[in-house]
Amino acid sequence: MPGSPIKVLLQTTIPTTADDWCIARFSLLGQFLRSRSASGAPLFEVTMRDRESLGAPDPVLSTLDQSDFDEMWLFAVDVGNGLTPADCAAISRFRNQGRGLLVTRDHMDLGSSICELAGVGEAHHFHSRNLDPDPARRAADDSITTSISWPNFHSGANGDYQVIRAIAPLHPVLRNPAAAGGAIRFLPSHPHEGDVSAPANQNARVIAEGTSKSTGRPFNIAVAFEPNAGSGPAIAESSFHHFVDYNWDVSRGRPSFVTEPPGASLAQEPNALADTHRYVLNLALWLAGSAPEVR
């Protein structure tokens, strides 16, 4: 009905595991979306969950097309086994019904179960699955954590911010009327981001780039899939660390396997968190088919 909040599912690809990137580590994202309102009414109704178990279809993901969610943000934090064929089929049907989908992962093969998702899965390149068509990009970039191989674009320490480039023409999810130039310039950084590109056979394009602080190489941060008669809007994102509590506020803590020393520049630059919040708001509105002009 008119005025009803946009129903958003924030979902990981692992069962609840305290010492991992489970959905509890995305709490600031959930809080931010729940706090947005227009004319006194909440803009979003947010559901946050991990998958129930591995190896069997998830009761929500495998029936997603039968749900009443308007959009799903999928955080692929698994080691390659996070989605079953039934999950992928239902998620693909969900988007084919015109609903919104954000799919993000991280370095090397982390989250590679998303390769089976129709359309948007093709935008994600991994170390051993759906390799980047450009051989030059199949090379190690992060020289600090040498146990992690490509793709591993080094945009900075967790807790720092990176300066990004909005690719012309400016996409709605990169707009920020309050920023100089009208575009989002800052996002949280991460020592080893993943690899995304726009599939040639899709109505998609790269909308944002970052720059490696290790090699100076540019890398893609976000690919937008425009909605059409056969599918809803979608975003392929290079790293779920753009949305994690630890990358917004390092005092929130990290899993024990994260050993890189954190930074602090995001907390010291007000525009960095403001741009990150604006990006999140724009994404949530655009994925629901709304113009992201709400402040």
Q: In sequence order, which residues have a C-beta less than 8 Å from that of residue 146 and are 6 or more positions away? A: 140
Q: Is residue 295 part of a domain?
A: no
- Phi, psi for 24 (deg, rounded to 5): -60, -25
Give the domain CATH number at 22.
3.40.50.880
Q: Is residue 144 part of a domain?
A: yes
Q: Considering only CA atoms, which of 90, 110, 108, 85 is closest in space to residue 12?
A: 110
Q: Is residue 292 part of a domain?
A: no
Tell me the CA distances in angstroms from 162 to 215, 242, 244, 254, 272, one per residue in order. 14, 10, 15, 20, 8
* DSSP tag of 261: P
Residue 229, pLDDT score: 81
Residue that is written with structure tokens 């012309």 in the block: 168
Q: Is residue 247 part of a domain?
A: yes
Q: Is residue 181 part of a domain?
A: yes
Q: Is residue 1 part of a domain?
A: no
Task: Give first-to-last CA distance, the chain, whole Å.
Answer: 22
* DSSP tag of 193: B
Q: Is residue 192 part of a domain?
A: yes
With b for 16 or more beta-carbon neighbours within 10 A and e for fewer, the 161-183 pattern comes to: bbebebbeeebbbbbbeebeeeb
Domain ranges, residue 27: 6-287
Residue 245 near residue 28 (C-beta atoms within 8 A): yes
Structure tokens at 152: 């591993």
Amino acid letter at 290? S
pLDDT, tens digit (0-9, with 9 covering 90-100), for 49-101: 999 999 999 999 999 999 999 999 999 999 999 999 999 999 999 999 999 99
Q: How many domains does the chain have?
A: 1
DSSP assignments along 221-270, one per residue = EEEEE--BTTB--EEEES-GGGS-HHHH-GGG---TT--SPP--HHHH-H
- Axis crossing angle, helix 27-35 with helix 270-287, rounded to the nearest 10: 70
Residue 293, pLDDT score: 59
pLDDT, tens digit (0-9, with 9 covering 90-100), for 146-199: 999 999 999 999 999 999 999 999 999 999 999 989 999 999 999 999 999 999
DSSP assignments along 215-227, one per residue = T--EEEEEEEE--
Residue that is written with structure tokens 């949530």 in the block: 284
Residue, of 41 and 292, whose pLDDT is higher = 41
Structure tokens at 255: 């899993």
Q: Is residue 294 part of a domain?
A: no
pLDDT, tens digit (0-9, with 9 covering 90-100), for 239-294: 999 999 999 999 999 999 999 999 999 999 999 999 999 999 999 999 999 866 54
